[in-house]
Structure 1
Amino acid sequence: MSTANPTNLVVLDMAGTTVADGGLVEQAFRVAAERLGEDPATMIDHVRATMGESKISVFRHLLGGDEARAQRANLAFEEAYGELVDGGRIAPVPGAAEAIAALKESGRTVVLTTGFARVTQDAILAALGWQDLVGLTLCPADAGGRGRPYPDMVLAAFLRTGAVDDVRQIAVAGDTSYDMLSGARSGAGVVAGVLTGAHDKAQLEAHGATHVLGSVAELPALLDGVGS
């Protein structure tokens, strides 16, 4: 790999990219809607279209900007997702832990990001035994409250780690259109979509993917070839 512009900061999404949750996001949204007396059938299309977005932002849209109800809905969602996680319903995407290890062994800094609240992110990390897998994990609250499709979490990783000097030395990987938008808006040199989650190749490319991979397991080889 060229040393002139090494891709040494890698920002990875969690659910759908490094973590397989078997559709728990949709299940938790349904539970949250029912707990609030809402019909989940009226919400699910928007939920699917906005996978990767901060969950509180999704509820603000669905509930017409009613902040109090959106906060209650988000809390119900986080509780429902946490209950499902505690039930052993998640696992690493095959090859994800090995890919992260390979990225770190090659001298790259890896950051895990999510659209969930910190309490849910921590529950996922604990369920997988990943608390010490990487040096930094970020949720929207860690980046001023704005999640994807804003670039804030990617840029927070850039600022907090000091791993690279130029945003073009960042690689972003995710499974949703919003992951791709976030990466493209941050100026990352590599914005890799993966096909293990919510959106297909056409959706990922339409929203800024520079590469589309079968899974995150292919990312180390991709980055080793960038600039070579």
Structure 2
Amino acid sequence: MSSTDIRLVVLDMAGTTVADDGLVEQAFQAAAGELGVEAGSPEHRTMLEHVRLTMGESKISVFRHLFGAEEKAQRANSAFERAYHDLVDAGHCAALPGAAEAIAELRGQGRKVVLTTGFSRATQDRILGALGWEEIADLTLCPAEAGRGRPFPDLALTALLRTATDSVHQLAVVGDTGYDMLTGTRAGAAVVAGVLTGAHGAERLTADGATHVLGSVAELPGLLAAR
């Protein structure tokens, strides 16, 4: 590989490599209910719209915005995690078609792969365990291990540092949300690829800096090989 080849691929999980199927919204509804927000109320609808707009962001940051006081935000986050874990444990967690194969192919091409998330480490590990993905990537990272979550560049840059990648010009960031795209552009990634299997459409992904928009992560190995 030359000094400008992509040597590190930072991949989002839910919506990019892992099917979401509304799990985030279901877990949010449980969290909001615990804080006394009635499902279907104007307040609930406003909060849910914010959750949708900020998909990809660190979940505790979302709850701090929605509930203000740290104690309430922590209660909501704990309720969210319990609800999400229950959904995962009940079998509502699956890899997106072609995701595991794409990760294997990327690593087979000699690239390092790091899986990142807006969830906590406990939730990330729950998902990895449910899928049998504990060893699928070179590294996994959550916001608490990087400093700040998306849309800041911390996750991507921490991945670069932890894998001893030489330059941001060798970095690709891939995700399904506008916040993933902002993370990639703010980190200076050479490739910032949006996928259409998750929260946001092509218009939002492009507006937030996508250099490429793909149908799914399954197309990524071919894209990078063609470069």
- TM-score bracket, shorter-length normalisation: over 0.9
Aligned-partner Cα distance in 2 for 1:153–1:138: 7
- Per the alignment, residue 104 of structure 1 pairs with 107
Q: TM-score, normalised by structure 1?
A: 0.95
- Per the alignment, residue 83 of structure 2 pairs with 80
Aligned-partner Cα distance in 2 for 1:42–1:82: 25
Contact (CA 8 Å) 2:56, 2:118: kept in 1 or not?
yes
Q: CA RMSD in A?
A: 0.9
- Per the alignment, residue 4 of structure 2 pairs with 5
Aligned-partner Cα distance in 2 for 1:134–1:98: 12
Unaligned stretches of 5+ residues in structure 2: 39-43
Amino acid at match of 2:216: S
Residue by residue over 1:77-113, the C-alpha shift from the partner in whole angstroms, topping out at 9 and shown as x without a partner, is: 1111011011111111100000000000010000000
Q: TM-score, normalised by structure 2?
A: 0.96
- Per the alignment, residue 29 of structure 1 pairs with 28
Give identity over the alignment, percent: 67
Amino acid at match of 1:44: L
Equivalenced residue count is: 222
**Segments of 4+ moved more than 4 angstroms:** none
Contact (CA 8 Å) 2:181, 2:205: kept in 1 or not?
yes
- Per the alignment, residue 50 of structure 2 pairs with 46
Contact (CA 8 Å) 2:20, 2:198: kept in 1 or not?
no
- Per the alignment, residue 170 of structure 1 pairs with 171
Unaligned stretches of 5+ residues in structure 1: none
Amino acid at match of 1:42: T
Amino acid at match of 2:120: A
Query: Is 2:129 the partner of 1:130?
Result: no
Deviation at 1:115, TM superposition (A): 0.2
Deviation at 1:36, TM superposition (A): 1.6
Deviation at 1:8, TM superposition (A): 0.6
Deviation at 1:12, TM superposition (A): 0.1
- Per the alignment, residue 56 of structure 1 pairs with 60
Aligned-partner Cα distance in 2 for 1:47–1:193: 19
Deviation at 1:42, TM superposition (A): 3.2
Contact (CA 8 Å) 2:176, 2:200: kept in 1 or not?
yes
- Per the alignment, residue 154 of structure 1 pairs with 156
Q: Secondary structure at the match of 2:9?
A: strand
Deviation at 1:138, TM superposition (A): 0.2
Aligned-partner Cα distance in 1 for 2:110–2:104: 10
